[in-house]
Chains A and B, each alone.
Chain A
Amino acid sequence: MILAAVLQFVTQTERRMSRQLQQQISFKALDGVVEVKSKFEAEYRRFAFKRNCPGGFQEFYTLLQTIHRIPEVDMLLGYADDHGDLLPINNDDNFNKAISSANPLLRIIITRKEDEPVGFGTNSLQRHKKGLGLTGLRNAGSLSSHSKSKIGLMIGRPQNFRQISSIIDVDILPETHRRVRLHKHGTHKPLGFYIRDGASMRVTPYGVEKVPGVYISRLVRGGLAESTGLLGVNDEILEVNGIDVTGKSLDQVTDMMVANSHNLIVTVKPANQRNNVMHRGSKNTGNSGSFGSNGSTGSALSHDSTGPASQSTPITASNSIVEGDSDEENDDDDDDDDDDDDGDLILESDCLMFYQNHNNMNFTSERLGNTPVVRNLQQSVSMPEYMAANLRAHQNGHQSQTA
C-alpha cells in the first residue's frame, strides 16, 4: 500500500516537473500579477500582488494572517496546482513554485495547524471538492500513463511519508561512489546489513597499494538495506555520515554506524559499478535546493521498492544543485538535533506536582494519575513496563510524523 503510493507519488512528481518546464515558457507571456484567492474556514479573500516581487514565504504567511485577520492562528498553507492537487506551501521554494504555477489565479487553502491534518497530494482536492467548490480540476485522463489505475489511492502529506532511503549528493560525488541515506526511524524493519574487514586497492603516488577497508558483507533478507537495493554485498564503505572511515577499525566503523543508525548516511563504492547514478548535467534544474529530508520535491530519489527494479535500471539523478551540499549538511544537523532532542523521552511524574496545579498534567501524568503518592518502599513509583512500552511506541509514532 505504501509502496504503491510512493511509486505514484514519484511519478506524479516527475510529471509535474515536466509540466513545469512547459509552464515556465508560457508564463513569460502573462502579465506580472498573481491573483490570490485564499480560503480560511468558510471565508474567502481575494487579493493580488506582483509576480516578480513575491517576497518570501514568511512574508506571504503574515500577509495572509493580516488579510484574514487571524494573526494568532498557526496555519498550514496549501495551494491548488493546475492538476487540482493540493500542495503545501511551507517554505520559500514551494512558495515560489506556487507563484509560478499561478495562472494567474493562485488558490490558497488555509487550515489551522491543530486541525486534522490535510491530506496533501494527489487527489486531495477531490476530497475537499465540495468545500472548495472546485470541480473538474482533477483530470482523470491526465498526461501520466501510470496513475490511471491508481485513482482513489490517498497519498498523505509529505510529512506522513516515511522516506526510508535516498541517494544524495549525486552531484558532488565521483560517479563511482554512492551516498545512501537510510532512515531507520519509524520502521520496524532492521537495518539489516553486516560489515567486514577487507582489502581495498588505492592508487597512490607510489602505485597501487592495498589498504585495509570496510565492506558490506551480508544483507539480511527483508531488511531495510536489502529492500532499498541501494547497498550491495562487497560495497566498500568510504564514509559514515560524512566522516571518512579510512584508518578506522571495523569496531569503530560499527560503533559509528550504530550511533548514527537513526539517520545513517553511508558513502559506498558499489561493487557493481553498472548501476551508477548518471550525471545528467546541471542545467535543467527548475527546482530549488531543498531536498532530502523534507522530501517535498523530488530531488532525491526515494525508494521503498524492493531491489530488482532499481538495480536493473540505471538510476538517474533528477537533480543536481551545487549549493545543495552545504544545505544538506545543515539540514542533517538540524534533523539530528530534532531526532535526538525529541528522541530523548522525558517522563515527568505527576507525583512531583502534588503541591502544584494539577491542570497542567501532560498525557503521561494522566496515565499515571492514579498512582498514589509514594511514602515508602513498597509503594515506590515505578512505571509498569508495558506502559513504558506504550509510551515508546507513541514516541516512535510521533517521530515518524515529524521527521
Chain B
Amino acid sequence: MMKFRFRRQGTDPQREKIKQELFAFNKTVEHGFPHQPSALAYDPELQLMAIGTKAGAVKVYGAPGVEFTGLHQDTTAVIQIHFLPGQGRLLSLLDDNTIHLWELTTTAPRQVGGVKRDGGVILQEVGSYSLPGRPGIESCSTTRVTVLLLLRSCDLLCIGTEGGGVFFLDLLNLTLNDSQTLLQDQVTQSLPEDYRCGKSLGPVESLQEHPRQAGKMLIGYSRGLVVLWDLSSRQTDQLFLGKQQLESLVWESSGNLFVSSHSDGGYSVWAVADGSSNTQQPVSSTIPYGPFPCKAINKILWRTTETGSPVLLYSGGMPRASYGDRHCLTIQQDKDHVTLDFTSRVIDFFTVHNVEQHKEFDDPSALVVLLEEELVVIDLQTPGWPSMPTPYLAPLHSSAITCSCHITSVPPKLWERLVSAGKAQQGHEHTSRSWPICGGKNLAPPPKQQELLLTGHEDGTVRFWDASGIALTPLYKLSTANVFHTDCDPCDEPRDPSDDPDMQQEEEWPPFKKVGCFDPYSDDPRLGIQKISLCKYSNKLLVAGTAGQVIVLGLSDECSDHTVDVSVVDLLQDREGFTWKGHDRLEPRLKPAPFPPGFQPQVLVQCMPPASVTAVALHAEWNLIAFGTSHGFGLFDYHRRNAVLARCTLHPNDSLAMEGPLSRVKSLKKSLRQSFRRIRKSRVSGKKRTITTPTSKVQEANAALAEHEEMAPIQRRIEPRSADDSLSGVVRCLCFADTFLRDGTHHGPTLWAGTNSGSVYAYALEVPGVGSGRGAERGVAGETAPCVEAVLGKEIQLMHRAPVVSISVLDGRAKPLPDPYEASQDLSIAPDMSNPHSVLIASEEQLKVFSLPKVSAKTKFKLTAHEGCRVRKVALVSFSSTAQEDYNEYTLVCLTNMGDMHLFNIPGLRPQVRYDCIRKEDISGIASCVFTRNGQGFYLISPSEYERFSLSAKVFTEPLCSVTLERLSRPTLASDGMTAPPQANGTHKNQTGQAEGRAEETPSSLSSPLSDTPLDSPLSCADVTLESTGELTVEDVRDFLTTVDEEENNLKNIQEEEGRPAGILIN
C-alpha cells in the first residue's frame, strides 16, 4: 500500500492505465425533439423517417432505439430530404442550394477504453452536388432548387428550379443529364396563346411522378400550369391550364386523377385523360374554409381507401381573418372532417400507407406530422383519428424544463407502478395501435437496469422519463397544480384536449381539435418546479417550486379524494426589517381534491417568504425533509406533520434577497428561459398572452447595474468576497447523513446546509428510534411524545466565502454514505462506521475534505485559484473498470462554468482527468447538467433536447442498430473527392456538437490534466499523507464480492448506488 503514497501526479503508468480503464468521455445520444426541424421524409420500404434541422443535421429514426444522425459540414438548414426507398440512402437539399447524398454504412468495431465496441450502422455523407449557375450568370436565382423528385427507378433525380427549368441528375455518378434538361421555354411554346400572355410560368412548385406509368411526371409551375411530361419521348402529354397560383400537387394512386392545392386556400381535382392535350377546367374545385379569403393550402395528400371515399389531408387553408394564425392540418374523409389545431407551425407531413404496386388502394394507416416543436402521429384507422403516443422524439419542452433529477437502477416494483400509472393517464386519449415507423433493428442489449429521468417544468408538472435506453420515453406525468387554487379551475389539469368534451361539442367551424402537448404557456409561473428528490425505496417524492412550496407525495395505485395537509414555515424567524416584495404564496386548496393514481400529494409545506426553493433534501427513513430558499432553511417531519427547525441565513445588509425569487444564477437561468420563451412566442404567433414574472425587478436592478458600469464596458473589479454581498443567504445545498458530529464514538442523524456565502451549518438531529439512542440516555424523551429535535452542532465559515455547491459525508472508507433504506434494508454495503468519517464540501472555488467530528481540513483543491473556473455542478460518481469486473472507484465529478468536466479522486482530491464538455457560452446547458451515479449525464443542448454523455469507459448508452438494406452496388463516385465526414467514429454526437455551434471536442488525453503546469505553481496542494486512490485495494473490492456474489447484476447496481447522500446530485 505504501507504494501508492507520495507519488506525484501523472507519473505512474499503472495509475494511468487504471484511469484509462475507468474514464472515457463520449457524447453518446441526443434525447428529445430536434431543435428547429426543417424537413421530413419517410422511406416506406425500410420504414425509416428522416428529420432535417436548420442546423444542418439529418436524423433518421426507425423502431424505438434505431437512430442515426448525420451532420452536414456547413450548418445550413436542410430544406428537403428524400429517401432512395429501400437503399438506406437519402438525399438532402440544403439552403445553400447543394444536394447531398447520404448512406447508412456499417462501421468497423473500434476500441474504446481498452474494450472493443461493436461497429454499428452509421449515417455518412457520400457525395454532394451543386447545380451550376447558367454560364455567365453567377449565383443567379434561376438555378435555385425548389423541388426534387426522385424517380421510382432511383437512378434519376429531377430538380425543379426557381427559374422554371427542370434538370435531371444521374444519381449513379451525380452528373447532370444535360440532354434531358427541360427549360421553361420549351413548355411555353406548346401553350395556347391566350394562356401564355407574355408572362413567365414562375418557379417549379411541384414534381410528381405518375404512380402507374414510369417515366411520366407532373410538373407544376407557380402560376398554375401543370404539365404531364413524358420523359422518354420528351413531350408534353397533357397541359392543365390552372389559373390559381399553385402550391402543391398529388396523384391519386390510380393515376387517373391528381389534386392541386392553391394559394387561395382551395384545391382542385383534375382528370387525366389520354388524348386530350389541353385541359382548361378541373373536375372540381373547392375552397374548404371559404368563402372569405383563406390562406394557402401548402401541401395536400389524397389517399384512397378500400372502404370508400378517399382521405384528403391538407395543411393550411384557414380563413385568413379569423384563424389565419392557427397552425392547422385538415383530415377529411366523406363527412368526417377534423381540423387538427397545433400549437406550432406545421413543417411537413406524410402518411404511412400501402406502397406495394399491386394493391389498389393506399389505405393509409397513420399520419405523421412534423411540427416545429413536436411530432404528432394520428391513427387513421381508428374512428375519431386519435393521436398516438410517440416512443421517442418526445417534446421535453412541452413546458419549459426548470430542473431535472436522475434515478439510477429503479426497483422493478416502482417501475411497474409508474408504468401503470402512466398508462392510466393516457389510456383513454391515445390509440393502442403500435408505432407505425418500425424500420431497423435495435441491437443494443436491453438495459441492465431501469433508469428514470425526472424533469420539472414551468407549469408545475414533473415528467417521468424512461432513460434506460436510447429513446427517452415518457412514462408518467405528475401535475402539482391541483394542490393549489389557480386562476383557472384547479381541476383543469393541462391534459390532451383531444377527448375534452367541451372542445368536441363546440359547434364551431372549422371543427378544431387540439392535438399535441407542446404548451409553452404556464398558467402561473409560481407553479414552476425548482427541485425534485425521489426516494426510490419508499416511493416518496419531494417536489419544491418557485413560490416556496414544498410538496411531499406518496405513490398510490388508487384514485384518492383527500385534502393535503398544509404547514407554513417562517424562515425569516422574526428577523426585523425585512419585507418581502416578491410574489405571494400560492393559495392551497382546502377542499378535498381528486388525485389520480400515481404520486399523490400528502403534505404541503409553504416557506415564508415565498421565495423560490433553492435546495431540498429528503430522508424517507427518518420521515424528514429539508428545504432552503434565499432566506433560510427549514426541517420538517412529514410523518408527525410538524416543523422541526427553521433557520434564517440572511445577512442583515442583504436587501436584494427580498426583491424577488431566485439567486443571481437562477435569475440568469430564468432570463434565459424567458428569452427562449420570447423566441417561442414570436414563432408561435397567435396566442398573445403576456407573461409577467416577478423577476423583472431584479432584472431592472441588473440593468441599472450594467448601465452603471457602462463607462468602462468590460472591466472587472478585483475584490475578495465580503460578508455582506447580496444574496449571501441563499441556501445552495442540503444533505442528511448518519455520521459523527458530536464526538467520535456516537454517530447519529445530521443535517447539513451550505449557503451562497460559504457558510455551512451542521445540525445534530434527534430522531426517535434512530441513532445511538441518546434520547433515552438523557432520560428526557420519556416525558413527552417523541419528536424530532435539531441541535446546531457546527458552523463552518469558509474563508473564501464562495457559494457552497454541495456537501456530502464520506464514511470511514472514504465512500459516500448510502441512501436512506439502503443500509438498513441490506440493499447496499453498510457504511464504515468504525473509522472516522469526513465531509466533502465543494464550493464554487474549492473542493475540501474535512475530518469529522472535529472539523479540520484534510485535503483540498483550489480549482478557481489554479484554473480560473468555477464549480457549477458536482457529483460523486462510481466508476467501474473495463478491465476488472469488480473494481470501482468513487470520483468527484465537477462541471465548471467553462463547461469542462474535472474529475478528482476522493478523498485525496487529486485531479484525474479533464474533459471539455459544454460550450462555455451555453449557460443553460451547464445549468441543466445532471449526472447519473454511474458516470453518465445529461444536459440540454436546446430547449427540447438532452445530450447524453458518458464519462465512464464502461457505462454508456449509445445507439447500436442495424438496417437490412437491399442495396444496389454502391454508386461509384466519379465526383470531386467528396469524402466521408471527418469523424467516422460512430458517435454522431461529435458531429452534432458542431451543429450546435459547440467548440470542436479535442480528444482529451488521459494524462494528468495539470502535468503541464509549472513546478512552482502551488498545485501540489493535496495532502500526500492522505489515502490516495491507491488505497482502494483489491481486498476492499473482494469484500464486496463475497457479500453479494449470488447476484452479479445486483452487485453492480448496489455498487453504483452505494452511499450517495441524498441531495448531492439532485439538481
**B855 contact set on A, CB distance < 8 A:** 344, 346
Q: Which residues of B contact A194 (CB under 8 A)?
A: 712, 715-718
Q: Are A261 and B868 in contact (CB under 8 A)?
A: no
> In the complex the two chains form, is A184's CB within 8 Å of B720's CB?
yes
Does A261 lie within 8 Å of B718, measured CB to CB? yes
Complex contact B1020–A343 (CB within 8 A): no
Which residues of A sit under 8 angstroms from B742, Cβ to Cβ? 352-353, 356
Contact A336 B1021 (CB under 8 A): yes
CB-CB under 8 A from A375, the residues of chain B are 789
Which residues on the B side are within 8 Å of A184 (C-beta)? 720
Partner of A345 from B792, B797, B1018 at Cβ < 8 Å: B797
Is A392 an interface residue, CB under 8 A from the partner?
Answer: yes
A355 and B774: CB pair below 8 A? yes
- For residue B642, which residue of chain A has the nearest CB? A377
B796: CB under 8 A from chain A? yes
Chain B residues contacting A252 (CB-CB under 8 Å) are: 867-869, 898
Query: Are A352 and B1018 closer than 8 Å at their CB atoms?
Result: no
Contacts of B1016 in A (CB 8 A): 242, 325-326, 329
Closest CB in chain B relative to A256 CB, distance in Å? 4
Q: What is the number of contacts between chain A and chain B, taking CB atoms within 8 Å?
A: 188
Q: Is the CB of B24 closer than 8 A to any CB of chain A?
A: no
Interface hits, B771-786 → A, CB 8 Å: 774, 777-778
Contact between chains at A374 and B789 (CB < 8 Å):
yes
Residues of A within 8 A of B644 (CB): 376-377
- Does B777 lie within 8 Å of A352, measured CB to CB? no
Cβ of B1017 within 8 Å of any chain A Cβ, yes or no, is yes
- Within 8 Å of chain A (Cβ to Cβ): is B864? yes
The reply to whether the CB of B117 lies closer than 8 angstroms to some CB of chain A is no
Q: How large is the interface on B (under 10, 10 to 19, 20 to 34, 35 or more residues)?
A: 35 or more
A266 to chain B, nearest CB (A): 9
Cross-chain contact B718 with A352 (CB below 8 angstroms): no
Q: Is B647 part of the binding interface, using a Cβ–Cβ cutoff of 8 Å?
A: yes
For residue B875, give the distance in angstroms from its CB to the closest CB of chain A: 21
The answer to whether A191 and B792 have CB atoms under 8 Å apart is: no
Task: Give the contact stretch, choosing among A74-82, A98-106, A149-157, A381-389.
Answer: A381-389
Alpha-carbon separation in the docked complex, A295 to B959 (Å): 63
B800 touches A262 (CB 8 A): yes
Question: Is B718 a contact partner of A242 (Cβ separation < 8 A)?
Answer: no
Q: Which of A255, A349, A373, A389 is B864 in contact with, Cβ under 8 Å?
A: A255
In A185-235, the 8 Å CB interface with B consists of 190-197, 217-218
How far apart sit A332 and B642, CA to CA, in the bound complex (Å)? 51
Q: Which of A333, A376, A381 has a CB less than 8 Å from the CB of B1020? A: A333
Q: How far is the CB of A323 from chain B (nearest CB, A)?
A: 12
Given A243-B1013, A355-B777, answer yes or no on A345-B796 (Cβ-Cβ < 8 Å): yes
Give chain A nearest CB distance to B218 CB in angstroms.
58
A374 engages B721 (CB within 8 Å): no
Contacts of A255 in B (CB 8 A): 845, 864, 868-870
Do A259 and B800 contact each other (CB < 8 Å), given the known contacts A242-B1017, A346-B794, A374-B790?
Answer: yes
Chain B residue with the shortest CB-CB distance to A374: B791
The residue on B at minimum CB distance from A329 is: B1016
> Out of A243, A341, A346, A351, which one reaches B792, CB within 8 Å?
A351
A345 to B1021, CA, bound (A): 20
Q: Does A135 contact B (CB under 8 A)?
A: no
Chain B 148-173 residues near chain A, CB threshold 8 A: none
CB-CB nearest in chain A for B864 = A259
B472 within 8 A of A: no
Answer whether residue B793 sits at the interface, using C-beta atoms and an 8 A cutoff.
yes
Say if the beta carbon of A258 comes within 8 Å of chain B: yes
B838-865 at interface with A (beta carbon < 8 Å): 845-846, 848, 850, 855-857, 860, 862, 864-865
Contact A258 B720 (CB under 8 A): yes
B715 to A374, Cβ gap below 8 A?
Answer: no
Task: Contacts A242-B1017, A340-B799, A347-B795 given; indicate if A385 touches B651 (C-beta within 8 A).
Answer: yes
Let me know if B719 and A382 touch, CB within 8 A: no
- C-alpha gap A20/B307 in the complex (Å): 115
Q: Within the assembled complex, what's the spacing in Å between the Cα atoms of A350 and B794?
A: 10
B741 close to chain A: CB less than 8 A = yes
Closest to A354 in B: B778
**Closest A residue to B920 using CB positions:** A249
Q: Which residues of A contact B778 (CB under 8 A)?
A: 354-355
Q: Kindly state whether residue B412 has any CB partner on chain A within 8 Å.
A: no
- Tell me, rounded to whole Å, the shortest Cβ–Cβ distance linking A51 to chain B: 36
Determine whether the beta carbon of A193 is less than 8 Å from that of B718. yes
Q: Is the CB of A339 within 8 A of B791?
A: no
Residues in chain A near residue B1021, CB distance under 8 A: 333, 336-337
Shortest A272–chain B CB gap in Å is 20
Interchain nearest-CB distance for A41 vs B (Å): 34
Query: Considering the chains assembled together, what is the distance between the CA atoms of A191 and B716 in angstroms?
Result: 13
Report yes or no: B648 in contact with A382, Cβ–Cβ below 8 A.
yes
Of the candidates B719, B764, B795, B1013, which one forms a contact with A258 in the assembled complex, judged by CB atoms under 8 Å apart?
B719
For residue A250, CB closer than 8 A to chain B, the reply is yes
Q: Is B109 on the interface with A (CB-CB < 8 A)?
A: no
Known contacts A241-B1018, A261-B718; A340 and B857 CB within 8 A of each other? yes
B798 at the interface (CB under 8 A from A): yes
A50: chain B residues within 8 A (beta carbon): none
Smallest beta-carbon distance B684→chain A, Å: 35
Check if A253 is an interface residue, CB within 8 A of chain B. Answer: yes
Is there contact, CB below 8 Å, between A385 and B652? yes
B719 near A191: Cβ-Cβ < 8 Å = yes
Closest to B802 in A: A259
Closest to B764 in A: A352
Tell me which residues from 73 to 95 in chain A have a Cβ below 8 Å from any Cβ of chain B: none
Residues of A within 8 A of B2 (CB): none
Q: Which residue of A lies closest to B721 (CB)?
A: A258
> Cβ of B645: which chain A residues have Cβ within 8 Å of it?
377, 380
Q: State in angstroms the CA–CA spacing of A389 and B867 once bound together.
A: 32
Q: Is B662 an interface residue (CB 8 A)?
A: no
Residues on the A chain within 8 Å of B802, using CB: 259
Q: Whole-angstrom distance from the CB of A398 to the nearest CB of chain B?
A: 12
**B798 partner residues in chain A, CB cutoff 8 A:** 343-344
Interface string of B993-1026 (1 = CB under 8 A from A): 0000000000000000000011011101100000
In the assembled complex, which residues on chain A have CB atoms less than 8 Å from the CB atom of B870?
A: 255
CB < 8 Å neighbour of A241 from B642, B848, B865: B865
- Distance, CA A341 to CA B799, complexed state (A): 8
A260 within 8 A of B: yes
Residue B506 is within 8 A (CB to CB) of chain A in the complex:
no
CA gap between A184 and B1016 in the complex, in Å: 22
Chain A residues positioned under 8 Å from B495 (CB to CB): none
Give the chain A neighbours of B646 by CB distance below 8 A.
377, 380
Residues of A within 8 A of B719 (CB): 190-192, 258, 261
Contact of B1046 with A by CB under 8 A: no
In the complex, the chain B residue whose C-beta lies closest to that of A342 is: B799
**Bound: A240/B1017 CA distance, A:** 10
Complex CA gap A357/B857 in Å reads: 25
Within 8 Å by CB of A352, from B647, B791, B846, B864, lies B791
Distance of A64 Cα from B547 Cα, bound (Å): 69
The residue from A244, A249, A257, A374 contacting B718, defined by CB atoms under 8 A apart: A257
Contact of B712 among A218, A243, A325 (CB under 8 A): A218
Q: Is the CB of B741 within 8 A of A352?
A: yes
A residues in contact with B862, CB < 8 Å: 259, 336
Once bound together, how far apart are the Cα atoms of A264 and B789, in whole Å?
Answer: 44
Contact residues in A for B764 (Cβ distance below 8 Å): 352
Please determine whether A259 and B716 come into contact, CB atoms closer than 8 angstroms.
Answer: no
The complex places the Cα of A329 from the Cα of B1017 at a distance, in Å, of 7
7 more CB-based (< 8 A) A-B contacts, given A254-B716, A382-B792: A243-B868, A251-B716, A339-B799, A343-B798, A353-B742, A355-B777, A374-B790
| 14 intermolecular pairs with C-beta atoms under 8 Å apart | A194-B715, A196-B715, A197-B714, A242-B1014, A243-B866, A256-B864, A259-B865, A343-B799, A345-B797, A345-B799, A349-B792, A374-B791, A376-B644, A382-B648
List 10 tightest A-B contacts by C-beta distance, closest first: A343-B799, A252-B868, A261-B720, A259-B864, A345-B797, A347-B795, A254-B716, A259-B865, A381-B792, A256-B868
